[in-house]
């Protein structure tokens, strides 16, 4: 079965501190992993996907197939990073269906 | 820029009513999705459609049905609304296996 687990409901850090949002997945094939973000009063939008290997807004994520993880990291958190973050998995079918995790609220305090 | 438009931002209905949630996208995407978003549960897929008149059940289809008569429009139907269907409903569209574009959501309250 496909499953995405984000163990932390809330992560609270101070501005300038490093951030790591955890994501673990369960999938028997070769998945594609994504991070989506929802800022206050905005639509859910793509932050990054593992195949592009880009760094967006200072965030990076590495797919670790051995640990089945795709943790999101940023070395220095900013207040504008406060948002809800969702990890998501796309399987190998052609439908583009995404399975999301439970979400983690990141709160960056001044 | 892709636009995914959901017809209502807020909706209040009574138990047992038939409810229609409408979603329109303007970028000729073949895939369209309906998710519900609940605190602590994340986004859960209700139904998706990969072509006109084609649909597949997601993880929580019970109590819901969908309709896709035209490529740009994907409707979610609650045949007989119940209080446990009170939730934020998100529509999304995508091209093949590309990123999803989301609507702004419909907050449905069933009383």
> Does the distance separating the beta carbons of A97 and B33 come in below 8 Å?
yes
Q: Which two tokens stand for residue B26?
A: 């303007």
Q: Residue B42 has what pLDDT?
A: 93
Helices marked H in chain B? none
* Domains of chain A with CATH codes: 3-91 (2.60.40.10)
- Determine the distance in angstroms separating the CA of B90 from the nearest CA of chain A, rounded to an integer: 9
Q: For residues B18 and B73, what is the distance between their CA atoms, to the nearest angstrom?
A: 19
Is A5:A13 a contact under the CB 8 Å cutoff? no
pLDDT-based confidence at B72, cuts 50/70/90?
Answer: very high
> Does the distance separating the beta carbons of B48 and A94 come in below 8 Å?
no
Is B76:B47 a contact under the CB 8 Å cutoff? yes
Architecture of domain B4-96: Sandwich (2.60)
Q: Residue A1 has what pLDDT?
A: 76
- Bin B10: left if φ > 0, else alpha if -120 < ψ < 50, else beta: beta
Q: Which two tokens stand for residue A22?
A: 């955890």
Q: How do the pLDDT tens digits run along chain A, 110 residues long?
A: 789 999 999 999 999 999 999 999 998 888 899 999 999 999 999 999 988 777 789 999 988 989 999 999 999 999 999 999 999 999 877 678 899 999 999 999 99
**Domain range list for chain B:** 4-96
**Which SS3 state, helix, strand or coil, does residue A79 take?**
helix
Q: Residue A52 has what pLDDT?
A: 79
Tokens 């069933």 belong to residue: B110
Q: For residues A63 and A71, what is the distance between their CA atoms, to the nearest angstrom?
A: 8
* CB contact set of B66 (below 8 Å; sequence gap of 6+): B34, B46, B47, B49, B55, B74, B75, B76, B77
pLDDT tens string B1-58: 669 999 899 999 999 999 999 999 999 999 999 999 999 899 999 999 999 989 999 9
Return the H-helix or E-strand segment holding B64.
Answer: strand B64-70
Q: Which two tokens stand for residue B9?
A: 């931002």
- For chains A and B, CB pairs below 8 A equal 58
Q: Residue B2 has what pLDDT?
A: 63
Find the CB nearest B40 among A86, A100, A102. A102
């Amino acid at each position: 079965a496909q499953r995405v687990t984000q163990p932390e409901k809330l992560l609270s850090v101070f501005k300038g501190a490093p951030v790591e949002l955890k994501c673990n997945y369960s999938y028997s094939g070769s998945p594609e992993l994504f991070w989506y973000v929802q800022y206050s009063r905005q639509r859910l939008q793509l932050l990054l996907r593992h195949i592009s290997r880009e760094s967006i807004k200072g965030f990076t994520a590495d797919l670790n197939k051995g640990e089945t993880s795709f943790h999101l990291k940023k070395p220095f958190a900013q207040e504008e990073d406060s948002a809800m973050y969702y990890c998501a998995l796309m399987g190998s079918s052609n439908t583009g269906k995404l399975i999301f995790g439970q979400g983690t609220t990141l709160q960056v305090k001044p | 820029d892709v636009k995914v438009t959901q017809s209502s931002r807020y909706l209040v209905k009574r138990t047992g009513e038939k409810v229609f949630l409408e979603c329109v996208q303007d970028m000729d995407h073949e895939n369209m999705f309906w998710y519900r978003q609940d605190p602590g549960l994340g986004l859960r897929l209700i139904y998706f459609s990969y072509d006109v008149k084609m649909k597949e059940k997601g993880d929580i289809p019970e109590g819901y049905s969908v309709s896709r008569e035209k490529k740009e429009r994907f409707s979610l139907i609650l045949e007989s609304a119940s209080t446990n269907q009170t939730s934020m409903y998100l529509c999304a569209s995508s091209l093949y296996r590309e990123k999803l574009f989301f609507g702004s959501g419909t907050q449905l309250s069933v009383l």
